[in-house]
A and B are shown apart, each in its own frame.
Chain A
Amino acid sequence: MAVYAAPGQPESIVEYAPRYENWIGGEWVRPAKGRYFENPTPVTGQTFTEVAQSDADDVELALDAAWGAAPAWGRTTAAERSLVLNRIADRMEANLEKLSVAEAWENGKPVREALAADVPLAIDHFRYFAAVIRAQEGHSSEIDGDTIAYHFQEPLGVVGQIIPWNFPLLMATWKLAPALAAGNAVVLKPAEQTPASILVLMDLVSDLLPPGVLNVVNGFGAEAGKPLAANPRVRKVAFTGETTTGRLIMQYASENLIPVTLELGGKSPNVFFSDVAAADDSFYDKSLEGFAMFALNQGEVCTCPSRALIQDSVYDSFMARALDRLGTIKQGNPLDTETMVGAQASNDQLEKILSYIDIGKREGAEILTGGERVDLGGELSGGYYVAPTVFEGNNAMRIFQEEIFGPVVSVARFTDYDDAIKTANDTLYGLGAGVWSRDGNTAYRAGRDIQAGRVWVNNYHSYPAHAAFGGYKHSGIGRENHKMMLDHYQQTKNLLVSYSDQAQGLF
């Protein structure tokens, strides 16, 4: 057990600058209007640094830098770009603890999770794209004996990326690694709730990338996000967030005729068939852990398994065991390595979760555990903590249909396979899902029948770089992770070549 010293204390391994500017063209650049906003930690609610409050002028400056760098970066060899990504990964690995503490302090997540998942996954993601870009090949087609179609991948140029606040470093990496590997220059806007850990990362890797290849502009969506998303000098926009902003970004993209990648969340079903309880063994234990996964990252995960569907015949015994399991979860100081559930990322997030708990009660759902804000005492009293909460109800209730983005699961029964699939698919979204069964046929069929881009079978919340991630239905457009992601950041150039001396015979 260890408790990391809070940033700001002399023995802390993270030292924040009192103020961060924008990272543009390989240097820190003051925001044009000279404005900064306060950045509080959700751990205590206290401000720990200030960050540039940018607007359209700063976005233009970043785009100038990106377009200045893009042609040369796009011409580097895959081997050169791969080396840069590997060096970024190595630098992150050498600073694993520092980045993990920074991420916990910024977002409120337990440092245990950042150390074991967020930062190692980000490191691996850079290495993965460093690898696949080396192995990527164009292809050729023989149209006839004298005519060959060659296909080459070329970078798009300059892309805009808007990052969410739930996994600041990992979500930035999901977007950056494929874009940079493919040879694009990037203008990235971190979430205004969580800008600082990305800026700590920029400080660490600033010497590894040519100036202008990666630019970070901070600020609010309305002031800095819109000028980026609507900018005619951006060749593609990638966004993770919610549906209304997703639609707005598509609307801007339609004006500029550019592609978008959107990841807009979900209301993921976690389906437990009765045979999980056929024996009280390690598999049953694993499935109970799978139920508790709704509390991972305080439920602030787009794929949070926030609807648990449990087969009638084992419902009571399963829920009794599941609630026991939840009782062992440790909620507390995010900088304590024993802590499993930390703080919600912001005050408005806390308020929103509490308002959902309220509407859940009004709709007649029963609270089986939790259902309230938690005061951890001392300095943590100012932080944003919610007890892991289990509601029992039915799928028509709003708590079953809307992404609460908190440690809240809504539980319902199902009778048989068809009932399970019908309820699982009765949602606007289709990002993630879980299926738990000892029967391979049932698990496979359910995995195929659930309309979601990622179905975890007998596991949950695993995010390997080599597995495609993205949504069906209102959960978005496009995929992240996997080498197929390179396509999202590349044009296809077709060279149609004739090796014949003969006229084509048309004129």
Chain B
Amino acid sequence: MSAPDPGRAEVERVAVTDEAAVLLRELRGTHGPLMFHQSGGCCDGSSPMCYPEGEFRVGAADVHLGDLDIGAPETVPVWMSRSQFDLWSHTHLTIDVVEGRGSGFSVEAPTGRRFLVRSRLMSDEEAAGI
């Protein structure tokens, strides 16, 4: 499986806004434990896709970016394809939520809200920890 390199584990790569955490707790009530896989490509690409944990099969082609604490008994793992990670690894991601209309098979779509990734560059200190 694709745990990150040990050296990377020290640096937080992904976070969640309070508002997104509220929605995740709500969705957890319907779908059970959840996971994210960050998409790329067309249409709704570049959006974080939220699935019931295990619905999307991750493998050697994926990187585990971290786990979101949403105030539930378990955390929410966030994954990205390794090839995409090579291009995104210098940025820190925050999963936020906006009003929106659906996307792929992501479970929040019927709520009229949509998860969105906000990015910032890693600080020098963070980059040194990578």
**B121 within 8 A of partner (CB):** yes
Range of interface residues on B (Cβ < 8 Å): 35 or more
Say yes or no: A242-B47 contact (C-beta < 8 A), given A221-B105, A263-B42, A428-B40: yes
Q: Chain A residues near B105 (CB, 8 Å)?
A: 221-222, 225-226, 229, 245, 248
Task: Answer whether residue B104 sits at the interface, using C-beta atoms and an 8 A cutoff.
Answer: yes
Query: Is the CB–CB distance between B121 and A428 below 8 Å?
Result: no
Q: A243-B39, A347-B100, A359-B91 are in contact. Are A402 and B46 (CB under 8 A)?
A: yes
Query: A493 near B: Cβ within 8 Å?
Result: no
Task: Say yes or no: is A355 at the interface (Cβ < 8 Å to chain B).
Answer: yes
Q: How far is the CB of B46 from chain A (nearest CB, A)?
A: 5
Interface residues of B in 62-120 (CB under 8 A from A): 81, 83-84, 87-88, 91, 98-107, 109-110, 114, 116-120
* A265 lies within 8 A of B45 (CB): yes
CB-based contact A223/B110 at 8 Å: yes
* Residue contact A220 to B102, C-beta cutoff 8 Å: yes
- Asked if A346 contacts B40 (CB within 8 A), the reply is no
Shortest Cβ distance from residue A391 to the other chain B in the assembled complex, whole angstroms? 15
Answer whether residue A75 sits at the interface, using C-beta atoms and an 8 A cutoff: no
Question: Which of A245, A302, A474 sits near B49, CB closer than 8 Å?
Answer: A245
Q: Which residues of the other chain, B, contact A481 by a CB distance below 8 angstroms?
A: none
Q: Tell yes or no: A429 within 8 A of B by CB.
A: yes
The interface bits of chain A over 215-249 (1 if a CB of B lies within 8 angstroms of the residue's CB, else 0) are 00000111101100100000000001111111110
Cα–Cα, bound, A406→B34 (Å): 29
Whether the pair A362, B121 counts as a contact (CB closer than 8 A) is yes
Taking the closest CB of chain B, its distance from the CB of A36, in whole angstroms, is 12
Q: Are B117 and A402 in contact (CB under 8 A)?
A: no
Residue of A nearest to B42 (CB): A265
Tell whether, in the assembled complex, residue A244 and residue B100 are in contact, meaning their CB atoms are under 8 Å apart: no
Q: Which residues of A in the span 333-365 have a Cβ within 8 Å of any Cβ on B? A: 346-349, 351-352, 355-356, 358-359, 362-363
- How far apart are the CA atoms of A40 and B100 in the complex, in Å? 11
What is the CA–CA distance of A327 and B128 in the complex, to the nearest angstrom?
43
- Chain A residues whose CB sits within 8 angstroms of the CB of B120 once the complex forms: 359, 362
The winner among B43, B117, B119 for most chain A CB atoms within 10 A is: B43
Q: Is B119 a contact of A191 with CB atoms below 8 Å?
A: no
- Number of A residues with CB within 8 Å of any CB on chain B: 56
Which residue of chain B has its CB nearest to the CB of A251?
Answer: B57
Asked if B40 and A398 sit within 8 Å, CB to CB, the answer is no
User: A348-B116, A428-B87, A474-B83 in contact; A242/B42 too (CB < 8 A)?
Assistant: yes
With A241-B104, A347-B98, A405-B45: A355-B118 Cβ-Cβ less than 8 Å: yes
Q: B91: which A residues are within 8 A, CB to CB?
A: 359, 398
A164 close to B (CB within 8 Å) = yes
Q: Does B44 contact A (CB under 8 A)?
A: yes
* A-chain residues with CB within 8 Å of residue B81 when the two chains form the complex: 243
Asked whether B41 lies within 8 Å of A348 as measured between CB atoms, the reply is no
A191–B102 CB distance below 8 A: yes
In the bound assembly, the distance between CA atoms of A246 and B49 in angstroms comes to 12
Instruction: Name the distance in Å between A235's Cβ and chain B's nearest Cβ.
Output: 20
Given A351-B98, A355-B116, A355-B119, A246 and B109 contact (CB-CB distance below 8 Å): no
Distance of A246 Cα from B37 Cα, bound (Å): 12
Interface membership of A475, Cβ < 8 A: yes
Please, how many angstroms separate the alpha-carbon atoms of A347 and B37 in the complex? 21
Contact B104 A221 (CB under 8 A): yes
- For the A-B complex with A264-B42, A403-B46 known, give 19 more contacts whose Cβ atoms are closer than 8 Å: A164-B42, A165-B43, A191-B102, A192-B109, A225-B104, A240-B43, A244-B56, A248-B51, A251-B56, A264-B41, A265-B41, A265-B45, A302-B41, A347-B98, A348-B101, A348-B114, A352-B46, A359-B120, A403-B41
Q: Which 8 A-B pairs have the closest CB atoms?
A: A265-B42, A348-B100, A265-B41, A242-B45, A244-B39, A245-B104, A192-B102, A348-B114
Binding site for B on A (CB under 8 A): 37, 40, 53, 164-166, 191-193, 220-223, 225-226, 229, 240-248, 251, 263-266, 300, 302, 346-349, 351-352, 355-356, 358-359, 362-363, 396, 398, 401-405, 428-429, 431, 474-475
Residues of B within 8 A of A (CB): 37-47, 49, 51, 55-57, 81, 83-84, 87-88, 91, 98-107, 109-110, 114, 116-121
A-B contact pairs, 25 of them (CB 8 A): A53-B110, A192-B109, A221-B102, A221-B104, A242-B45, A242-B46, A243-B39, A244-B37, A247-B56, A248-B49, A248-B105, A265-B40, A347-B101, A348-B47, A348-B103, A348-B114, A349-B100, A352-B116, A355-B117, A355-B118, A356-B46, A362-B119, A398-B88, A403-B41, A428-B40
